[in-house]
Amino acid sequence: MAIFLLKLILWALSSLASLATFIIFRAVALIVVLFIQLFRVPGLAIEGALEHIAVLLRTAVECVFDLLKDGLVSLISSGVELVSGTATGSISLTASAFVELTEKMKNAFDMLAEIFPEAFEGMSEMVGKMVSDLWDNYKDAVGYIIQNV
């Protein structure tokens, strides 16, 4: 009878120890998963932000290079026309090339003026969404902890 009682006590103690370790390890696992999820979402958002910045910079560099290329082509073209033309013709050609170059620069600057506000608006929306998502994830995690604690 004493052996049966001792076995029963030992079984109860081992069951309680097993339950306690299960609860501790489950809680630690849930916290680790929570932290991983919290850091993964902002990482994805930052990756998206960097992609948007790369596209913005690529577009800006392309516009600047196109502007420089058009200006250089216009300048070379004007120079060739200036050398090949007569004195009066070369003056009018130079003036028209300057006007054309000025118009192209104005058009390029207008295009850049349209691109940058849209890009910055998109970036501000993205940052706002990142902060909102971070806050929502925080609230969900706290709710999960409160519900599961």
Question: Residue 138 is part of which domain span?
Answer: 50-149
Residue 68 domain flag: yes
Radius of gyration (Cα) for the chain, nearest Å? 35
% residues pLDDT > 70 (the chain): 72
Place of tokens 């004007």: 78
- Angstrom distance (rounded) from CA 18 to CA 25: 10
Read off the pLDDT of residues 7-37 as tens digits, 9 standing for 90 and up: 888 888 888 888 888 888 888 888 888 888 8
Number of domains in the chain: 1
Decide if 90 is inside a domain: yes
pLDDT band at 87 (very low <50, low <70, confident <90, very high): low
Cβ atoms of residues 95 and 82 within 8 Å: no
H/E element holding 3? Answer: helix 2-84
